[in-house]
Structure 1
Amino acid sequence: MINIQKFLKSVPFAWEGIITLFKSENNAKIHLLAVVVVVISGFLIGFSEAEWLAIILTMSGVLALEAVNTAIEALVDLASPAFHPLAKKAKDVAAGAVLLFVFGALVVAGIILWNHFSYIISSIL
């Protein structure tokens, strides 16, 4: 059975995690800035519904993966405060996962923006 009260009690903790992420993590701030730029660009350019869906899924994926990476790094630091090759490996692979998703996000953004800019350029010429 689903316990709605338990869920509602957990929501403030999740918000606290999101706030902590953006207050403490430089890369999360960079990703958030990119989200703001993309959203403003999307409104100015006039993204289609399908483009918005792709962009929203991509942006939320990057932000969610950055949060998971941050959680993994915190746990590794707690478990292994001194340098350990496996701790380094865990942190590097988690950060690499974010980077892979960012590369995919850049491809999605590039395809969407190319379609809009090529249309604008062809209509000018």
Structure 2
Amino acid sequence: MKADFKMSQSSPSPLFSSAATLTQSHLPQYSGEESVSEIRKNTAWHIAPNLFSSFKYAWAGVCYAFMTQRNFRIHTAMTAIALSIGLVLHINTLGMAIVALTCALVMVLELLNTALESVVDLTVGQSYHELAKIAKDCAAGAVMISALAALLVAGFIIAPPLVAIVFPF
């Protein structure tokens, strides 16, 4: 089964509507007779010129996920709650490190899931394709498994001192 991956050159995708509104004045100046779309294509693959730019782009990705992905916001809130409870309960350094790493793993996988979904949507467009569904479902499954593992880890580390405070014997 082969998918039709045609993308319209005349109408920009809603995801990249801001890129379609770029004018010549927004783009770096190049010599020659290159069109705006040719310049966009050529500059899209350049490496960030410095470390600050790399961090800026990375932070933009995190902000995008936070603003657009409900699950990323939920994972962020749960991470803050788990770390706060751990601090209040005076969990040891190793326990806090393990909780922080497992929560970070969930958030990293959610970012990768968001990136994969965006690439699949860009490739497939508004058509349905079984392989696109499989890719999206598997990425979401990876996030779910990591979230369950983080919940178990936090439960094993945070639950005993929390139970001791709530139900003193």
TM-score by length of 1: 0.89
Match of 1:116 in 2: 161
- Spell out the pairing of 1:9-88 with structure 2 (5 A cutoff): 9-81=53-125, 82-88=127-133
> Which AA in structure 1 matches 2:56?
P
Match of 1:8 in 2: 52
Q: Contact 2:66/2:73 (CA < 8 Å) preserved in 1? A: yes
SS in 1 for 2:79: helix
SS in 2 for 1:12: helix
Q: Which has the higher helix share?
A: 1
Superposition RMSD in Å? 1.5
Could you tell me which runs of 5 or more consecutive residues in structure 2 were left unpaired when the two chains were aligned: 1-48
Match of 1:94 in 2: 139
Q: CA deviation at 1:72?
A: 0.2
Match of 2:19 in 1: none
Distance 2:86 2:163 in 1: 15
Q: Contact 2:91/2:158 (CA < 8 Å) preserved in 1? A: no
Mark the structure with the bigger radius of gyration: 2
Q: CA deviation at 1:8?
A: 2.9
Task: Tell me the percent identity.
Answer: 33
Could you tell me which runs of 5 or more consecutive residues in structure 1 were left unpaired when the two chains were aligned: none
Aligned residues: 120
Q: CA deviation at 1:60?
A: 0.8
Distance 1:91 1:7 in 2: 31
